Amino acid sequence: MFTQAEHDAMCRAVELAGSRLGLTGANPTVGCVVLDREQRVVGEGLHLRAGEAHAEVAALAQAGRRARGGTAVVTLEPCNHTGRTGPCAEALRAAGVGRVVYAVADPNPAAAGGAATLAAAGVDVAGGLLTAEAGWANRFWLTNATRSRPWVSWKFGSTLDGRIAARDGSSRWITSEAARTDAHRLRSRHDAILVGAGTVRADDPQLGVRHGVDGAAPTRVVVASGTDGLPVGARVLDGSVRTVVVVPAVAGATAAPVLRDAPDTEVLTVDAVDGRVEPEALLSALFDLGIGSVLVEGGPLTAAGLLAAGCVDELVGYIAPALLGAGPAAVGDIGADTIGEALRWEFRECALVGPDLRVSAVPGTAPAPLTAPAPLTAPAPLTAPAPGRWTA
């Protein structure tokens, strides 16, 4: 059903899409490769950000006349609607493309139907090539579109024996400078960073993007059982970036005076269970604020609450080659009393970052990637690749 050239082109399209994960605003991350009649690569494109050309349009512009009679290989079904840009299905038809291969069907009712439109125009259309890999490269947006909530990553740094601090509470620094820089790249790819009030009191984090990493600082989200538990001089209240303080919807849960005066800070009231913010209600409320991805950097209790509720989509751990033997663990009680009740996860990636090990895992029986993903790096340059790579 698919040629080797189409398979190779989809691998490249997935790579292009993944390079923009978290950097396209509310839009999907999409990659496209155009093959000519002889199945040679003649154009590549990726969607850079909302309002700019979609991947198919960018790839067609590079291919020019060589696209006529050729094949467009794209990670997401070409859109079929006019928004800030025109429909990609029409652009492909107008370019004279003879075949379109896509990985994932568009779940957005407003934009879906591109495959049917192209088929009705006489274009050969085939879907389902490397669906799992393309879905992973576009996982933030697909979660938004299908579950109406943000994608949730849980990040932690620990010793080999799972300790995030020593017995005396000291934790700086368990992991290396290289790991911390890599973690800030991870921050830059998410819309929001979430911590609990306990982390604010214990560590007073600023939650910005530093270590030479480019990118806008994510929204800071602090989950608190009561706003009066936040220190007056906490750095998350410095007004440098949007901050949301989440409190449970219980009688008497009101914003403390310090928050009323804090710049660029808002209080979000969320349904609670036993006085604690309910995880699914929290994610729904954050999604309503336009937050499409959340990086959880909170302490053991915050992580445990989200994990126990099944609200964590990916785990990213930075493991230092050190042992403490005592001190707080990375996660608190998740209700597993026996080995049989353990939450089982599957590794997607293991990579050395300086002297430390970065591991990525997903819950349950998610499909394994075709190949191990490359280590997280800075975003790909916005300039087009050199023309030489488009010819056989």
Q: Is 38 helix (H, G, I), strand (E, B) or coil?
A: coil
Contacts of 189 (CB under 8 A, 6+ apart): 21, 22, 23, 215, 293, 376
- How far apart (Å, rounded) are the C-alpha atoms in residues 115 and 126? 8
Contacts of 343 (CB under 8 A, 6+ apart): 307, 334, 336, 363
* C-alpha distances in Å from residue 162, one per residue of 97, 321, 366: 53, 11, 24
Could you count the other beta carbons within 10 Å of the beta carbon of residue 338? 6
Residues in the chain: 392
Q: Please name the helix (run of DSSP H) or strand (run of DSSP E) that holds residue 78, with its range, or none.
A: none
Helices (H), the chain: 4-18, 55-63, 88-94, 114-120, 131-137, 139-147, 177-188, 197-203, 257-261, 279-288, 300-308
Amino acid found at 24: T
Pairing status of strand 71-76 against strand 219-223: unpaired
Which sign does the torsion angle of CA 144, 149, 150, 151 carry? negative
The answer to whether residue 341 is catalytic is: no
Q: What number of H helices and E strands is found in the chain?
A: 11, 16
* C-alpha distances in Å from residue 137, one per residue of 11, 120, 121, 126: 11, 29, 29, 20
Q: Which residues pair with 248 in a beta bridge?
A: 270
Radius of gyration of the chain (CA): 23
- How far apart (Å, rounded) are the C-alpha atoms in residues 118 and 229? 57
- How far apart (Å, rounded) are the C-alpha atoms in residues 320 and 91? 50
Q: Which residues pair with 223 in a beta bridge?
A: 196, 246
Q: Are 142 and 135 in contact (CB under 8 A)?
A: yes
Catalytic residue among 6, 56, 297, 314: 56
Residues annotated as catalytic are 56
